[in-house]
Structure 1
């Protein structure tokens, strides 16, 4: 298979303990993604033998405010130490921290020029941490219409602009096509424009945030475009299982099979 396929253990096999979810995903040949690492037994996760393609790269903070930037940088360093334990390859960021309901801790109806400059400065410092550690931070786009209202720098175009401005190999975008479909659409052209700066691609269908084939996105066409463009990176299922987790993974694999 041309792509490296991963699945988010936070969203499937929800009836199993977390380590067993990781084992089930790994046994089926997928890489594994996780969110907040601080509540996980990282030693047990490492012992599963799974490849961890992504984890959350911070615990608190934001890109904009001085206090939030300091928190983001400090917990990014903590995250890098955690990433060493499970050898997570990418560490994911958002425009601001999200509360348990997915709402931004620093909401913005409008992002000012000063906010943009602050975000670029924070991300440049994050990228420097990644360069020293030999790992990559990724900035994920989100949607503000359904899941994350008020989140600054939410659009894929925003994440791309910030990553291009910093221009470091240790900072890339996490192009989430579920969020992009809700917020921007025109996914194949978005992929084409973003690909030089993409660290990974995440997928789920719309509506419902379930596996490919359950909604309106024709992921087979996106997979064909990615092959044509020569993408060989990670495509990760960050989706709820519509009914059955095994069936969700099978549908995901089928959508991106050659």
Structure 2
């Protein structure tokens, strides 16, 4: 995932006083989803501006929202979005705290040069203020690319050390960095973190509540498959999920992933967190938005 990666894609205690909060107003016209599915800007593009899309999503029963690009938005837009979510009783999902510079194949957190690690930690420090304005608890990090000149085990040790230093920065603020593995087969060749089990090993090495992992099931299906077995094995370190079907990265039901069974499994696990709708719509316009809603109603009823 990169901060500009989707042409189709578009709560920490310390954040409580960051935005002037209005009372929660219940305006939903549809039953609330039982799981924390989180649309994003563009999911309901025909409904107007970002804030109008948030209002529409709330009216359809969604209880969360996701915005990968939030850190790059003007402060006033961050504050307005946080206020809109609070007014509708919606949880803010992830925003991107640190993402590779794809054209430069950087950062390389496991390399011999410490410069990329220093820059990564600067990104993390800068993200604290963003999280507080957004009333966000989780922030996405992707720990860069592989260095073919350095043994993988050494790179892994350096990434763990870097994530420990990052954890020391965010933990006092009650924030959680979720590391996202990306597939190398279709979308992101050369990235360091490629599977959920690999991210699990790094998180266990860091051993901090401030460092967990994001299981994006689109990426994991491409890279390794065995989604339910993998999540079960790594569950203690999974703090956030993202859905997207494969192939095509559209709404559930357009590809090969049995999201009904995934939802049944998550419900049995009593998962109460956010599930980002990290995909586009298979059909353009309002018809595609209706299809998106129907797809999530169908798997939520599983």
TM-score bracket for this pair, using the shorter chain length: 0.7 to 0.9
Measure, in 1, the Cα distance between the counterparts of 2:99 and 2:246. Answer: 28
Q: Deviations over 1:59-115 (max 9, x none)?
A: 66453342111111111111111110110120011121xxxxxxxxx4545862221
Deviation per CA, 1:28-65, whole angstroms, max 9, x where unpaired?
33211111223322122123134212111226645334
Partner of 1:195: 235
Query: Which of 38, 54, 61 is matched with 1:6 structurally?
Result: 38
Structure 2 CA distance, aligned partners of 1:230 and 1:111?
40
Shift of 1:2: 4.7
Q: What are the equivalent positions in structure 2 for 1:30-179 lying under 5 Å apart?
A: 30=62, 31-40=64-73, 41-49=77-85, 50-58=90-98, 61-65=107-111, 66-96=114-144, 106-108=145-147, 112-179=152-219
Runs of 4+ in 1 over 6 A off after TM superposition: none
For the structure 1 residues 131 and 146, does the alpha-carbon distance in structure 2 shift closer, same or farther, using more than 3 Å as the test?
same
Tell me the TM-score normalised to structure 1 length. 0.87
1:25 to 2:57 alignment: yes
Instruction: For residue 164 of structure 1, give the secondary structure of its aligned residue in structure 2.
Output: helix
Q: CA deviation at 1:195?
A: 1.2
Corresponding residue to 2:275 among 220, 235, 239: 235
State the 1:229 CA deviation.
2.8
Matched-pair contact (CA < 8 Å) for 1:4–1:234: yes
TM superposition shift of 1:189: 0.2
If you compute each CA radius of gyration, which structure gives the higher value, 1 or 2?
2
SS in structure 2 opposite 1:220?
A: helix
Q: Specify the alignment match of 1:257 in structure 2.
A: 301
Structure 2: which 5+ residue stretches go unaligned? 1-32, 101-106
Change (3 A) 1:253 1:130: farther
Aligned partners of 1:62 and 1:71 also within 8 Å: no
- Per the alignment, residue 102 of structure 1 pairs with none
- Render the CA deviation track for 1:237-257: whole Å, top value 9, x for unaligned: 111011112421331242133
C-alpha change, 1:73 and 1:188, in structure 2 (3 Å) is same
Q: Mapping of 1:195-234 within 5 angstroms?
A: 195-234=235-274
Deviation at 1:210, TM superposition (A): 0.4
Q: Which runs of 5+ in 1 are unaligned?
A: 97-105
| Length, aligned pairs only | 248
RMSD between aligned residues? 2.1
